[in-house]
């Protein structure tokens, strides 16, 4: 069953997530539900637990080669800073230009309990940084310059009003 995705204004998006101690049944079910939620969001590639209101350090993503889940991820190496255009399921309709690293190395645990390190570049690297940010309560509007943040928030508000009118 797809879960409700929290959007900007929900305080849970600003909280820091806590480490997952063990992959028990509760975590398994959460991962499954998050996977379904991501699948139900066309064109989207990643979803962090805090975005569905659960403060656990994990996220799911699918960059085209199947659904994956990373638990307790930690970015341990970065290189090649560049500017990226980025959106977020929690800020529907908003895109901002922000600095990201073109290459990252992430240490994490898989749902089967294996400790692994992933090296990613380009879009995949951008995605991993985006999801790791969520686990710290950081959103894309925190990473762009103040002018762009103002513009993005105004745009977001306009879109929110339009959505409300559409459902009224």
Chain residues that interact with Zn ion, rule: CB under 5 A = 88
Q: Which is nearer to Zn ion, 23 or 127 (CB)?
A: 127
Q: Which is nearer to Zn ion, 20 or 46 (CB)?
A: 46
Distance between CA atoms of residues 91 and 8, nearest Å: 6
**Which residue sits closest to Zn ion, CB atoms considered?**
88
CB 155 within 8 A of CB 144: no
Say whether 16 is catalytic.
no
Q: Which is nearer to Zn ion, 38 or 88 (CB)?
A: 88
Q: Which is nearer to Zn ion, 24 or 47 (CB)?
A: 47
CB of 49 to Zn ion, least distance (A): 12
Distance between CA atoms of residues 119 and 99, nearest Å: 19
Selected catalytic residue, list 131, 136, 147, 164: 131
CB of 132 to Zn ion, least distance (A): 11
CB of 113 to Zn ion, least distance (A): 26
Active site residue ranges:
131
């Amino acid at each position: 069953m797809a879960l409700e995705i929290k959007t900007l204004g929900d305080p849970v998006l600003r909280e820091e997530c806590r480490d997952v101690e063990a992959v028990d049944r509760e975590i398994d079910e959460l991962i499954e539900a998050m996977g379904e939620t991501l699948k139900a969001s066309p064109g989207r590639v990643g979803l962090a637990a805090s975005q569905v209101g659960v403060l656990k350090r994990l996220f799911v993503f699918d960059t085209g080669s199947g659904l994956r889940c990373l638990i307790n991820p930690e970015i341990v190496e970065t290189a090649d800073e560049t500017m990226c255009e980025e959106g977020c399921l929690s800020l529907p309709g908003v895109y901002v230009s922000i600095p990201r690293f073109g290459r990252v190395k992430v240490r994490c645990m898989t749902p089967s309990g294996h400790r692994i390190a992933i090296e990613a570049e380009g879009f995949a690297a951008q995605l991993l940084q985006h999801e790791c940010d969520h686990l710290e309560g950081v959103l894309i509007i925190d990473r762009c310059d103040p002018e762009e943040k103002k513009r993005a928030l105004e745009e977001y508000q306009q879109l929110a009003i339009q959505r409300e009118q559409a459902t009224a």
